[in-house]
């Protein structure tokens, strides 16, 4: 009979744990496209490929691309005069950034998510029609900075909370419009929008919600599994707005405790004593390898059974910039 040490208990000695794996989770089409742009640019043009701001909010992804030759900068001023490609991140940039790139004759590959670009176009359209614009979002988030920077200073007012919506004083209530950041809590945004519509019945709101399909789908999947879970882990970065919202959604939907982790090595095991069920999901910028690291870590300590709970199927993909499409076709 083969014995085991105390450090490696037999499998049947481990407590049983059901892991509810939310689906959809992880990479969305916009993130997948942005990463692909950097990788294909490195293949076609060689290193370095400069990237303004973290291409997506995930340290693992950024470090993986750095290892392949990507150079991340915060501003164009950090980039020397070069023929190398300059990639704009998935979050979008203020208009001043591509203007500056053109002035320096830089070769730009724009990885802005097309759903973010749609909000930019909508903001310009509303402004051209004379509307004062409210942007529901989080101050300082790169997407908010990029959207605000599409228009002259003061043209867009940021609304972060119900209180902001309750106290905002427009110049003309009949010429008011609202747009949103794409990665917000669906429920919070709906509440804020309701406050605005009750106060300003003539406010123009998006015909289709600006919150992206992936954000909505991941929140819906979390809502489905949260009531069954003793704990929930959201794999993602603290800088990732959509990942932070998943933590909030999980606890509101009935999970006693949800937490954000970037990888399995960050697990505080004292948080998971005596649990029988665990929910696992991932923000839109978290690769599946990090989800695997979480599940593998629990499999070392628990007799794990996995149930995948699917609430939507995602088939959306976005076109690459033309120079890279041409290279793939060649």
Domain with 78 in it: what CATH number? 3.40.50.11270
Q: Is residue 326 part of a domain?
A: no
pLDDT at 155 over 50: yes
Taking each helix axis from N to C terminus, what angle separates 213-225 and 186-199, rounded to the nearest 10 degrees?
110
Greatest alpha-carbon pair distance for the chain in Å reads: 83
Same domain? For 188 and 272 the reply is no
Same domain? For 265 and 244 the reply is yes
Domain boundary among 158, 176, 199: 199
The closest alpha carbon to 199, from 239, 157, 166, belongs to 166
Domain that holds residue 227: 12-27+213-310
For residue 91, which phi and psi values (nearest 5 degrees)?
Answer: -75, -15
- The residue ranges of DSSP E strands in 36-150, in sequence order, are 49-52, 70-73, 85-88, 107-110, 132-136
Question: What token pair was written down for 207?
Answer: 């015909």
- Could you confirm whether 313 is annotated as catalytic? no
Same domain? For 256 and 297 the reply is yes
The closest alpha carbon to 209, from 160, 310, 136, belongs to 136
Whether the CB-CB separation of 298 and 16 falls below 8 Å is answered with no
Q: What is the CA radius of gyration of the chain?
A: 22
pLDDT at 6 over 90: no
CA atoms within 13 A on the CB side of 83: 2
The closest alpha carbon to 179, from 200, 209, 151, belongs to 209
Q: State how far the Cα of 263 lies from the Cα of 7, in Å rounded to an integer.
A: 22
Whether the CB-CB separation of 38 and 72 falls below 8 Å is answered with no
Give how many domains the chain has, as a whole number: 3
Q: Convert the pLDDT of each residue in 233-283 to its tens digit.
A: 999 999 999 999 999 999 999 999 999 999 999 999 999 999 999 999 999
Same domain? For 129 and 51 the reply is no
Same domain? For 37 and 74 the reply is yes
pLDDT at 3: 40
Domain CATH number, residue 296: 3.40.1010.20
Q: Of 66, 143, 163, 251, which one is the catalytic site residue? A: 143
Q: Is residue 60 part of a domain?
A: yes
- Distance between alpha carbon 4 and the CA centroid of its chain, in Å? 44
Mean pLDDT, residues 302-318:
97
Q: Convert the pLDDT of each residue in 106-154 to its tens digit.
A: 999 999 999 999 999 999 999 999 999 999 999 999 999 999 999 999 9
pLDDT band per the 50, 70, 90 thresholds, residue 94: very high
For residue 323, which phi and psi values (nearest 5 degrees)?
Answer: -55, -30
Same domain? For 173 and 241 the reply is no
Q: In terms of pTM, does the model score above 0.75? A: yes
Same domain? For 83 and 144 the reply is no
């Amino acid at each position: 009979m083969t014995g085991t040490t105390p450090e490696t208990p037999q499998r049947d000695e481990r407590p049983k744990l059901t892991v509810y794996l939310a689906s959809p989770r992880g990479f969305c089409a916009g993130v997948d496209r942005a990463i692909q742009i950097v990788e294909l640019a490195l293949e076609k043009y060689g290193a370095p490929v400069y990237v303004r701001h973290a291409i997506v909010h995930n340290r693992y992804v950024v470090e993986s691309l750095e290892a392949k030759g990507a150079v991340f900068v915060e501003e164009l001023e950090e980039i020397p005069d070069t023929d190398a490609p300059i990639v704009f991140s998935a979050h979008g940039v203020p208009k001043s950034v591509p203007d500056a790139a053109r002035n320096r004759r830089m070769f730009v590959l724009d990885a802005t998510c097309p759903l973010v670009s749609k909000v930019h176009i909508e903001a310009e359209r509303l402004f051209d029609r004379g509307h004062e614009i409210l942007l529901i979002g989080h101050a300082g988030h790169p997407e908010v900075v990029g959207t605000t920077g599409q228009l002259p200073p003061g043209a867009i007012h940021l609304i972060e909370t119900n209180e902001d919506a309750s106290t905002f004083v427009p110049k003309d209530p009949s010429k008011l419009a609202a747009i949103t950041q794409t990665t917000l809590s669906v429920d919070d945004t709906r509440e804020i929008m309701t406050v605005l519509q009750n106060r300003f019945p003539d406010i123009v709101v998006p015909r289709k919600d600006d919150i992206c399909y992936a954000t909505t789908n991941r929140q819906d999947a979390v809502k489905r599994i949260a009531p069954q879970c003793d704990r929930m882990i959201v794999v993602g970065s603290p800088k990732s707005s959509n990942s932070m919202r998943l933590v909030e959604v999980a606890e509101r939907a009935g999970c006693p405790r949800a937490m954000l982790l970037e990888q399995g090595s960050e697990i505080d095991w004292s948080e998971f004593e005596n649990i029988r069920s665990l929910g696992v999901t991932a923000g839109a910028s978290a690769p599946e390898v990090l989800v695997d690291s979480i599940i593998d870590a629990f499999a070392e300590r628990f007799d794990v059974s996995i149930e995948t709970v699917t609430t939507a199927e995602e088939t959306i993909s976005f076109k690459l910039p033309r120079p890279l499409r041409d290279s793939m076709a060649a």
